[in-house]
A and B are shown apart, each in its own frame.
Chain A
Amino acid sequence: MKNFNLSLLFLPVWKRNLIVYRRIWKVNFLVPLFEPLFYLAAFGVGLSGLIGDVVYSGQELGYIRFIAPALLATAIMFNAFFETTYASFVRMYYQKTFDAMLSTPLSLEEVITAEIVWGATKSMLASAIILTVISVFGFVSYPWGLMVIPMAFAGGLAFGSVGMYFTGITPSIDMFNLPIFLFVTPLFLFSGTFFPVSGLPVWGQYLAALSPLYHLVELTRLLTMGRIESNPLFSLSYLLVFALVFYFLSIRAMRKRLIK
C-alpha cells in the first residue's frame, strides 16, 4: 500500500468516541451487565436441565459453566463488530464526521484505525463487566482470568477490522443485514459457543476452525477455566493474522469509498 500514513494522531479520534460514550455510560454499561445474566438464566436454568453435562477437552462440565466463557467471546465480537459497522457507518455517511476530520491534519488511516481501536476498546469494557458478572458465579479462575481483558482487545481488533471492511463496501446501512446473516450469525451459532466443536463431524470441525470466533471462544475458555481443545498458540496467531488482514483490507476499502 502506497503512502501509509499512520501516527499517534489517531488517539484524539479515539478520544472523541470515548467522550461520546461517557455521555451515556450508564446505558452503555447496562447491556454487558444484564445480557450475560439473561443468557445464563435462559441456558443455565432453562436449557441445562434438558442437556445435562457436556464433555469439553476430556472433562465433564455443567452446561452453564461451558457457555459462560463463550458469552465473553460473543460479546467481544458483537461490541466491536456493531461499533465499526452501524455506528461507524452513521458517522461516516449520515454525520459526515470523517469528512470533517479529513480537512484537519488527520489521515484516512488514522481515522479508520481510531474507529477500529475504539471498537476493540468497547469489547474490552464489555468483557470486563461480563467477567465480573460470571466471576460472581464462580466461573472464572484467577489470576489468568484477568488476561481475558487484553484478549478482548485483540479479539475486538479482529472483529472491528472485519466490520470496518464491510462498512467500506456496503452501499447502504440496510445492507448490513447481509454480513450479519452470512457472517455473524453462523459464527455465533457454530463456533463452539453452545456446543463443543469436537461433537461435529470432521468437515464441520474444519469449518469451525476457520471461524475467528471459534478461536476466541477457545482462548476465553483457556483463560477462564484452564482448558482448551485447540492449540492456543495457533488460535492466537489465527486471530491476530485475521485482524491484520482485515485491517489492511478495511483501509483499502475505505480509501476507495471516501477519497474521490
Chain B
Amino acid sequence: MGTGYPIIEAVDLGKRFGSFTAVDNVSFRVEQGEFFGLLGPNGAGKTSIIRMMYGFSPLSSGSMKVFDLDISSGWRIIRSRIGVCQQENTLDPDLSVENNLLVFAGYYRMSRKKAVQRTSDLLDFFALNHKRKAQVSQLSGGMARRLMLARSLINEPSLVILDEPTTGLDPQSRHQVWDKLRDLRSRGLTLVLTTHYMEEAANLCHRLIIMDKGRILVQGSPDELIREYAGTSIVEVENPGPDIISFIREKNIRHEELVNRLIVYTDDPDSLGRVIRERFCPKKCIFRNGTLEDVFLRLTGRELRE
C-alpha cells in the first residue's frame, strides 16, 4: 500500500481540445507503492490524463508533478524513471522480440551489457524466452501484450503506467497478465492502471477514481466504494411484477428499474433477501455480492457512450 510519499500529484488538471474539455479540473495523488486505478467510460478523459502524466500532452491548465518534478520542465528525467504500456500495440514490427527490448534500452542510454541482462531477465519473467528471435508479427495477442509490459519495465522504472493492458486478451492471457502485475505490486512498484474491466480494477487496485466527462465522480478503495455506492449485497429480479416494484418503492430501498429487470441494492441481505425470495421470486432471482461494476454503472449511468 501507499507509503505516504507522493509519486504523482495532479492539481486542477485540465485538458481542452478547442472548445471540447477532455479533462476538467481534476486533482488526485498517487503514493509510492500504490496500485492506482483510473476508471471511466469511453471519453471520460483517462487516456488524456495518462498522456499528460508522461509528458506527451501539454497541460491546458493546472499542474502535474511526478517524483516531485514538474512535468513540463522535468519530463526527460521523469520519463527516464517511468515505464509506459500504451493502449495500442506500439511494438516495433521491424525488429525481433529480443531487439524490441534491446533497441528500446538504447533510448534510455543503457549500457549494452546491462541492456542484454535486462532483456534476458524480462524475457524470462514474461515467459517469452522461446520467442526471443521471433518477429513481433508472429506473436499471439497475449504474447504481444506481455512483450509490451516487458518493454515498459526495461529501464527499471519506479512508476509504471498501464493503459488498458488486458483489452482484447483471452481469459488465460488476462489472468497471466494479472499474475505478473500482482507480482510487480508486491515488489513495491507504483502502478497506474486504466481499464474497462471492473473485476480487474477491483482485484488489483489499492485505490481508484471513477471519472466521467472529464471529472472525478468518486475515489476510494474498491471495498469502500462498493460499500458506499452499491451495498454489499444485490438482488436482481428478472421480469419483476408490479407487486415487487411497489414493495421496493414503498420501503424506500435503493434500487434501479431497468427494462425487464430490477436491481435492488442492500446492506441487509438476510432479512430483505428472504422477504424477496419468499414473496416475489417464483422464477428468476439472482442473489449476489455488490461489485465495482455496480458502482460504476450506478455512477456513470447505463447509456452507451460515443
A residues apposed to B, CB below 8 Å? 5, 9, 12-13, 15-16, 19-20, 23, 95-97, 99-107, 259-260
Decide if B89 touches A259 in the complex (CB within 8 Å).
no
Do A102 and B93 form a contact, CB below 8 Å, given A9-B107, A9-B109, A107-B76?
no
| Neighbouring A residues of B42 by C-beta, 8 Å | none
Tell whether B293 is near chain A: CB-to-CB under 8 Å. Answer: no
Tell whether B88 is near chain A: CB-to-CB under 8 Å. Answer: yes
| Neighbouring B residues of A95 by C-beta, 8 Å | 90, 92-94
B residues apposed to A, CB below 8 Å? 17, 51, 54, 56-58, 76-77, 79-80, 84, 86, 88-95, 99, 103-104, 106-109, 151, 155
Decide if A104 touches B92 in the complex (CB within 8 Å).
no
Complex CA distance for A12 and B105, rounded to whole angstroms: 9
Decide if A12 touches B94 in the complex (CB within 8 Å).
no
Task: Kindly provide the distance from the CB of A11 to the nearest chain B CB, expressed in whole angstroms.
Answer: 8
Do A259 and B58 form a contact, CB below 8 Å, given A103-B86, A104-B79?
yes
Complex CA distance for A191 and B107, rounded to whole angstroms: 40
Decide if A96 touches B107 in the complex (CB within 8 Å).
no
Decide if B92 touches A100 in the complex (CB within 8 Å).
yes
| Neighbouring A residues of B56 by C-beta, 8 Å | 102-103, 259
Residue in A102, A105, A106, A260 with the greatest tally of chain B CB atoms within 10 Å: A105
| Neighbouring B residues of A19 by C-beta, 8 Å | 95, 99, 103
| Neighbouring A residues of B151 by C-beta, 8 Å | 100
| Neighbouring B residues of A107 by C-beta, 8 Å | 76
24 pairs of residues in contact across A and B, judged by CB atoms under 8 Å? A9-B109, A15-B106, A16-B92, A16-B106, A19-B95, A20-B95, A95-B92, A96-B86, A96-B90, A97-B90, A100-B86, A100-B92, A100-B104, A100-B151, A101-B107, A104-B79, A104-B104, A104-B108, A105-B76, A105-B79, A105-B80, A105-B108, A106-B107, A260-B57
| Neighbouring B residues of A97 by C-beta, 8 Å | 90, 92
Q: Known contacts A19-B103, A95-B90, A105-B79; can you find 17 more A-B pairs with CB under 8 A?
A: A9-B109, A12-B106, A95-B93, A96-B86, A97-B92, A99-B90, A100-B90, A100-B151, A103-B79, A103-B84, A103-B86, A104-B80, A104-B108, A105-B109, A106-B107, A107-B76, A260-B57
